[in-house]
Structure 1
Amino acid sequence: MSALPVDPAPGPHWDELVRFWEESDWPEGSKVEIIDGIIVVTPPPGAPHNRIVEKVHRRLYTVVPEDWCVYETQGVAHPARGRLYVPDLVVIPERVMAELEGGESAPLTAAELVVEVTSPSNASYDRLNKAAAYAEAKVPLYLLIDRFGPGGPTVTLYGEPSDVYQELQKVRFGEEIHLPAPFDLTIDTSVFPFG
């Protein structure tokens, strides 16, 4: 993981940072995000990570409203806080995506659900930085699939954002977790690989 610090305030610094993020030749398959004004490069996720993402993605498409979409590689930006994330999954209304041009990022505030699956190199970002940012942007639901939780693999659903999220439900791998309306979806985490 590498980082390039910059001033996270919106304006010319943000524009320069995003331009650098867009135009640089990052290692193929890596995830490149701007977290609190710092460019963070993480290696491509491994097979267990991708298998979990695929299983959740498939389940979400059975319940999302017709005018919403589920994306795996969509950047979501919160320029006022120096943030540009590429969540493992993000649910965004199609009308928002239709207004974007080229490689433009969607506004983080438009997300209805964000799903992150931890990797060894990014677990603390997913647990702390991203949870705080998603709550601040008022993303209604944040599903954290923490393969490397301190007490073992867990899945936590956060919601009711204000300054922070409320923990709505937390289960160990192997148990079921339920996403409330508008999803009304139960996910059986026993299908998640432990490795």
Structure 2
Amino acid sequence: MTAMAPADRDFPWTEEEFLALDEIADRVELWDGDLRVSASPTPWHQHVITELLIALRLPSRERGLRVHSAINLRLKPNRIVIPDLTITSAIDFHERVVPSDLARLVCEVTSPSNAATDRVLKMHYYAEAGIPWYLVVEHVTAGLWLYRLEGEKYELDGVAEQGETLRLVEPVTAEIRPESLLP
């Protein structure tokens, strides 16, 4: 479940204050001055992301790209999110925050507590940041919904449910079957 934190603070957080938190156990994102704290993902969620990362690792390297799980991604000043998975061009591995112009694809795995955030708000944020591809993995079935940025919004590019294959040609070439992601 996502919550605003800390509850007793009545003024916005700056990016500098956010970064001063250093590494903490919770997933903390900065959304326009507000901190959003999420519980650690479930083992199911983590398994799906790991399998997806494995499926995209070699195709990413073949294109000179890298795939990462749970990195700090700066969409704009004072908006730093943590996508479940991100494919980027070359990044500085010593920097805590990756600029969004290096992201080629972001992926979110929905859960009952965040499905609307991933399908609406984060989709809008990623489009606004100009990230070319957005992949949504549906909770329980691992259905895959791939979106391509057209202008200022995402258009559906492909869908794969159980028994089907999602074929990516950009930013990497890969075929993914939803059932291959499941535990």
Report the TM-score when normalising by structure 2.
0.84
Letter in 1 for 2:144: V
What is the deviation of 1:26?
7.8
Q: Give ranges in structure 1 of 5+ residues lacking alignment.
A: 8-12
Identify which of 73, 78, 92 aligns with 2:88. Answer: 92
Aligned partners of 2:75 and 2:126 also within 8 Å: no
Equivalent residue number for residue 169 of structure 2: 180
Q: How many Å separate the matches in 2 of 1:110 and 1:184?
A: 18
What is the deviation of 1:36?
4.0
Q: How many Å separate the matches in 2 of 1:46 and 1:26?
A: 20
Structure 2 vs 1, CA of residues 173 and 37 (structure 1 numbering), >3 Å: closer, same or farther? Answer: farther
Equivalent residue number for residue 4 of structure 2: 3
Equivalent residue number for residue 70 of structure 1: 67
Equivalent residue number for residue 22 of structure 1: 19
Pairing 1:53–2:73 present: no
Equivalent residue number for residue 108 of structure 1: 100
Aligned partners of 1:136 and 1:161 also within 8 Å: no
Letter in 2 for 1:107: P
What is the deviation of 1:174?
4.0
Q: Secondary structure at the match of 1:116?
A: strand
Listed one character per residue, the Cα deviations across residues 125-152 of structure 1 (whole Å, up to 9, x for unaligned) are 111111111112221111100216xxx7
Using the aligned pairs only, state the percent identity.
25
Aligned partners of 2:160 and 2:177 also within 8 Å: no
Structure 2 vs 1, CA of residues 6 and 86 (structure 1 numbering), >3 Å: closer, same or farther? Answer: farther
Q: Give me the CA root mean square deviation.
A: 2.6
Pairing 1:41–2:75 present: no
Q: Secondary structure at the match of 1:58?
A: helix
Report the TM-score when normalising by structure 1.
0.79
Aligned partners of 1:175 and 1:188 also within 8 Å: yes
Structure 2 vs 1, CA of residues 102 and 126 (structure 1 numbering), >3 Å: closer, same or farther? Answer: same
Q: Secondary structure at the match of 2:150?
A: coil
What is the deviation of 1:156?
0.6
Task: Count how many residue pairs are aligned between Structure 1 and Structure 2.
Answer: 178
Structure 2 vs 1, CA of residues 27 and 62 (structure 1 numbering), >3 Å: closer, same or farther? Answer: closer
Equivalent residue number for residue 170 of structure 1: 159
Structure 2 vs 1, CA of residues 108 and 25 (structure 1 numbering), >3 Å: closer, same or farther? Answer: closer
What is the deviation of 1:24?
3.2
